[in-house]
Amino acid sequence: MAEPRLRLDLDTPTSHLILVHPDSGSYSQPLSGSLWISTESLTRDTLNPSEITVSLLRIVAIAANRLARRKTGGHQRYSLPFKRRTNSPRTARTTTRTYCETVLECNLWSSPNAFATSRSAITDTSLKLPFCVPVPDNLPATTTTDLGTISYAIRATVTLASGESQISCRPLGISYRLIPSSYLPAKHIRRFPQSPLIFDVSITQRQPHHSTTRAQFSVALLVRNLYTLGDREGEAKYVTVNAVKWEVEEEAVLTEITSGDRHTSLSPGQRSTRALSRGEDRIPWSTSNYRRSNLPSRTDDPAHIQFEITIPQSANAADDPDLESLARSRGRLHPSAVAKTPAITVDHHLKVEVITGEDTVNNRTNRLLDRRTSVKSYGAILPLRIQQLASSSDNLYADVFGEELPAFEVAQSLSPPGYEAGLAAAT
């Protein structure tokens, strides 16, 4: 009668958070778990395994034999954000190429002697082997795109003295949380050729009010240099902002990473773009911005435009990965060896289009002479990093990014400990 096979039960969390602080960088806590071996399958051979390892795997699955939604080469240049494009027809997914990489591997037991010292972990029903493995803080998050997916798994491998191995795997979802420290805005300046207009943009991420919202941003747009002198004496021209359209796009790029010879290079390939959120704000016309002859300081008054951006959870937006983390560890490669691995990079950007008109007024009486409701559209592409803010339920970051040490002046004002009481008690 054949001996029963080794039965393993891997008990690990199904999700893991990597915390990002704007000033302190990223932090990832170790991952704790347990490996259970059923006592029904314990034999003399299994009680003295030659090796027990726990590994973190990264799996990149790429859909093959299909066309990307859009292919571009080189750096992306600006086009009107809301100009309708014709997409190439996409073929059905026929096959999927899967690549598995070992991110890290830890040995729980490497010799029978070390394993024998822990037999007190045997219970009535199973043998429990607890473990705690580090998780790098720069791993790309679990990602799903049109081009493929990035996923993770924890794998436990028990190698017996006979050479037979038994494996148990559990999926692991990795995501990022941004520590809401000070809500500092990201500022951008955009200029346009053959136009005096300047876009001054501030983007601030806010804590969402609803669980159905993944990320929320407040955008403040200042349009400067609206006033110019007219073609005739005594005339002035004002650029009027009639509407603002915006769209948040996610671009996934299938990339081949070449590591070796002490350098790493990226070779972008197919691209796929999809819209996560969009909106439009109509700006009511007002004559209050017109400059009068006795108010010269108002010639440079900008147009103030504010709008909110909401990324719903249903959009399934991916976290922006760290490109350096996509490369293999150099320590695993011989200096002359070259390894090529596929990866999926994700980039988010905000497209803003400002539709303007033009009013010609008398520079002295402020009387309207001519109005053109639609003259020109100005567009800009701004980088947008989408990472969900940590909430009160994510209490892990309180232990990591806690209160700072007291300032030097506060430490100087603290009284030294009293030694007299201690000396009196000793005598």
Per-residue pLDDT tens listing for the chain (427 residues): 445 467 788 999 999 999 888 777 788 889 999 988 775 655 555 555 668 899 999 999 988 654 444 444 444 444 455 554 544 444 454 578 888 989 999 888 654 444 444 444 555 556 788 889 999 988 889 999 888 899 999 999 988 777 778 899 999 999 988 887 666 789 999 999 988 999 999 999 988 888 888 899 999 999 999 888 888 888 888 888 999 999 999 999 888 777 655 455 556 678 889 999 999 988 876 544 444 444 444 456 788 999 999 999 888 888 766 555 555 443 343 344 446 778 888 999 999 999 999 888 887 887 888 888 877 899 999 999 888 888 766 655 445 544 443 343 433 444 555 555 545 555 5
- Residue pair 54/155 in contact by the 8 Å Cβ criterion: yes
CA distance 241 to 184: 27
Residue-level pLDDT at 52: 86
pLDDT for res 257? 75
- Tell me which amino acid residue 361 is: V
Distance (Å, rounded) from C-alpha 44 to C-alpha 66? Answer: 52
Residue 355's closest CA among 386, 329, 377?
377
Closest listed residue to residue 136, CA positions, set 288, 300, 322, 279: 322
pLDDT at site 51: 80
126-133 vs 31-38, strand pairing mode: antiparallel
Q: What 8-state DSSP symbol labels residue 399?
A: H
**What is the pairing mode between strands 31-38 and 8-11?**
antiparallel
Cα(106)–Cα(35) distance, integer angstroms: 13
Cα torsion angle, 390, 392, 395, 399, sign = positive
d(CA 292, CA 296) in angstroms, rounded, equals 7
Angle at CA 372, nearest 5°, toward 233 and 365?
A: 40
**pTM, rounded to two decimals:** 0.72
pLDDT of residue 118: 47
C-alpha dihedral, 325 to 328 to 332 to 335, nearest 10° = -110
How far apart, in whole angstroms, are the C-alpha atoms of residue 113 and residue 144?
45
- Torsion over CA: 10, 12, 14, 16 (sign): negative
Task: Judge contact between 323 and 345, C-beta under 8 A.
Answer: yes
Q: Which residues contact 406 (CB under 8 A, 6 or more apart)?
A: none
Collapsed DSSP state (helix, strand, coil) of residue 20: strand
